[in-house]
Amino acid sequence: MFHTALTSADLIFLAKGAGMTILVTAISVFIGTLLGIVFGVLRGQLGPIWFAPVTFVLDIFRSVPLLIQLVLANAFVGMVLRLHISGLTVACMVLSLYTAAYCTEIVRGGIHAVPATTRRAARSLGMSWLQDMRYIVLPLATRIALPSWIGLALGVMKDSALVYVVQVTELLKSTQILITRLQEPLFLLLICGAFYFIISFPLARFGGYLEKRWSND
């Protein structure tokens, strides 16, 4: 018979970790997406040359391991600036910028996919730049960008497993704490993996479905 020392209190502990994972992901994806949209639109307006400094900075977030970004941000805030900011805030700041770096590319790609002639036609009809953006670019670019954006959001959720380095107890960290106490690594890891899978898999499938459906017509 299968026997485990896992109690309902431990399950609540795990659920709290899962809640933290979702909280960090939600905040970071929200702020990161807003920043990404701003940067993506700005890049379209300024052109690649004037936007190059921002591109360079955003590229750093994609070329350095997230673990190092978190440790550096934590050291900078705590040791250099000597501010007392919670680990959760640091984690959300880093993950937001990390999300923004990827989201900028997605937004840029989406806007780029709207034919220039379509936009010129809109402006010729007397639409303002804002109207062109709102009624022409937004609906067309969303179709291109949404599937990749879903992929990005899920990626951020999986990467949020690293925020344990700034003392945030998310799902994987709480699993590890329980493993240390209960000494049942396989069983606990399977629960943890199942949780990530249950959230990620249906959304990933949904993203794939949208991509397929929207690319045909």
DSSP string, 89-146: HHHHHHHHHHHHHHHHHHHHHHHHTS-HHHHHHHHHTT--HHHIIIIIIHHHHHHHHH
| Coil, helix or strand at residue 155 | helix
Q: For another protein, which stretch binds (CB under 8 A), given 89-97, 108-116, 132-140, 185-193? A: 185-193
Can you tell me which of 58, 154, 168, 178 binds another protein, judged by CB under 8 A? 154
In degrees and rounded to multiples of 5, residue 178 shows phi and psi of -65, -35
Q: Does 156 bind another protein (CB under 8 A)?
A: no
Q: Does 83 bind another protein (CB under 8 A)?
A: no
Can you tell me which of 120, 142, 185, 213 binds another protein, judged by CB under 8 A? 185
Can you tell me which of 24, 114, 141, 162 binds another protein, judged by CB under 8 A? 162
CA separation for the pair 74, 66 (Å, rounded): 12
Q: Residues 113-152: x/- map of binding to another protein (CB under 8 A)?
A: ----------------------------------------
- The CA distances from residue 180 to 8, 21, 176, in Å, are 17, 20, 6
Q: Enumerate binding residues for another protein (CB under 8 A).
A: 60, 63-69, 71-72, 75-76, 79-82, 154, 158-159, 161-162, 172, 176, 179, 184-186, 189-190, 192-193, 196-197, 200-201, 204
